[in-house]
Structure 1
Amino acid sequence: MANTNDNTGTPAAFKQFNTRFPQIAERYEALGNAVHDHGPLNDRERALVKLAISGTAGLGSAFKTHIRKGREAGITRAEMEHVALLFLPTIGLPAMIRAMRLIERMYTPIDAGAKP
């Protein structure tokens, strides 16, 4: 998992950004909220879309964040793995394997009873 300072799962780099540039971080959060609230997709659907976007873009830290947020939105491991499987015909085997490995890493501590 990304380097974090506590058990929230928030990457340390993002926490540092928030501390260093609080006004920009606040506006970034407001933009995200506005985009989320704008359309007809529900939290669960948005979580799946964001998982797919971050995974296909190869954004490892963002993908891990969206795995965590997806769990919070009720997305199951099987559903996340299905999203990753859909990478195969679209962007190829290496991207699909990379996504599957990240999902596995994020779930292994959970399966063992620990917080990721």
Structure 2
Amino acid sequence: MVVNTMEKELPKNYQNIRIRYEEYGQALSELGKAIKKAGPIDEKTSHLIQLAAAAAIRSEGGVHSHTRRALELGVSPDELYHSVLLLTSVIGFPNVAAAISWVDDIVLKEE
């Protein structure tokens, strides 16, 4: 399996799974593409939604990935932080605080 430049930034464990289980990895990739084409939500908004979901399940790697990808699409740091802060009444302050620190890992590295 050839790993493209975009995939080099993906978490190492995700890359390893895609290499070890090539058909599965390809199916994941195709599923992601199909889902994005299935509805009217633009790519920036989809990454903010995925960022919120990653924060909700306490996925540090997911928060990193969607923060990075959203920034590449022109989402501002303020939009990223607001997307996480909006979750406070749903997932609680401790989870939001953790997610903010994971967004910081990427945003502050970019500055």
Give the TM-score taking structure 2 as reference length: 0.88
- Alignment deviations for residues 40-83 of structure 1 (CA, whole Å, 9 cap, x no partner): 10111111111111111111111111111111222111101001
Percent identity of equivalent pairs: 21
Instruction: Give unmatched runs, 5+ long, in structure 2.
Output: 1-6
Judge conservation of contact 2:64–2:105 (CA < 8 Å) in 1: no
Amino acid of the structure 2 residue aligned with 1:91: I
Amino acid of the structure 1 residue aligned with 2:34: A
How do 1:14-29 and structure 2 match up within 5 A? 14-29=14-29
Judge conservation of contact 1:47–1:73 (CA < 8 Å) in 2: no
Please give the root-mean-square deviation of Cα atoms over the aligned residues, in Å. Answer: 1.4
Q: Shift in Å at residue 21 of structure 1?
A: 1.0
What is the distance in 2 between the residues matched to 1:45 and 1:77?
14
What is the distance in 2 between the residues matched to 1:88 and 1:79?
15
Amino acid of the structure 2 residue aligned with 1:35: I
Answer 1 or 2: which has greater helix percent: 2
- Moved runs in structure 1, 4+ residues, more than 3 A? none
